[in-house]
Structure 1
Amino acid sequence: MTTSIEQYNNNQTPEEQMICWQLAEIISQNLPEAESKIWHAHPVWFIEGNPIVGYSKLKNGIRLLFWSGITFEEEALQPGTGKFKDASITYTNVQQINVSDLNRWLQKSICIQWDYKNIVKRKGVLERLK
């Protein structure tokens, strides 16, 4: 995990910090080869330049977003509102994080990926990588 992600986590309220640190730890354990950085103002993990998972502060909590999450077919993940394949879940306290679910979603994020890295080159068209 990068210093910039540590700073992001530390800039949250105490409850949000606990959520962020828990998410960062679990994500890093499951995606040890992934590159992590602050991207569009929040922590994101990438595999081969493709965004996989990230979290961000919203008014109502910390949202964990999987870029290809709608394809995971997981009830707890809510689909995004656009034409993309993202899905997310929002946490308001650290006890809401189901580690078993999160581990499963992260494993799916390795196996199920849409090519966000080249979306601009393809003029908004997503292609499945895995």
Structure 2
Amino acid sequence: MKEEIQTYNDIQTSDDKAICNVLAQTIDNELTEAESKIWHAHPVWFLDGNPIVGYSKQKAGWRLMFWSGADFEEDDLNIKGKKFKDASIFFSTVEQINTKDLERWLNKSRDIQWDYKNIVKRKGQLERLK
């Protein structure tokens, strides 16, 4: 795990840290080619500069967001973005994380991508990459 992401995880409460570590380790194991960093104050993984997946703490719990997840056709990714193609799931305990589901979603994130990297250049318009 990248040091800055481990540092982010380490400053969380012990229960939250457990959630963050499972998410980060699973993402790192599945998206081995991805670049990861703290982006807009949260851990995010990128493929070819395009944001793919990240997590953040919100009132409802830990939000795991896939930037192109609305097209994954996954019932559990049921928090859909209103403007873009993102979809999310929330976790409040580490036991809620189904790593087999997470691994499947991560594999889909590699194959189904919208071009967020160039969204500013395209004045807010998304184009499908894969």
> Same-fold call, TM > 0.5?
yes
Check conservation: 1:66, 1:87, Cα contact below 8 A: yes
After the TM superposition, list the runs of 4 or more consecutive aligned residues in structure 1 that deviate by more than 4 angstroms. Answer: none
Equivalent in the alignment of 2:93: 93
Structure 2: any 5+ residue segments left out of the alignment?
none
Check conservation: 2:35, 2:45, Cα contact below 8 A: yes
Secondary structure of 1:83's partner? coil
- Measure, in 2, the Cα distance between the counterparts of 1:81 and 1:47: 20
- Measure, in 2, the Cα distance between the counterparts of 1:64 and 1:13: 17
- CA shift digits 1:62-111 (9 cap, x unpaired): 11000000000100002434210000001000000011110100000000
Structure 1: any 5+ residue segments left out of the alignment?
none
Check conservation: 1:79, 1:85, Cα contact below 8 A: no
Q: Return the TM-score normalized by structure 2.
A: 0.97
Matched positions, count: 130
Equivalent in the alignment of 2:106: 106
Question: Kindly, what percent of the aligned residue pairs are identical?
Answer: 64
Check conservation: 2:79, 2:89, Cα contact below 8 A: no
Q: How does 1:36-47 map to 2 (within 5 A)?
A: 36-47=36-47
Amino acid at match of 2:105: W
Equivalent in the alignment of 1:116: 116
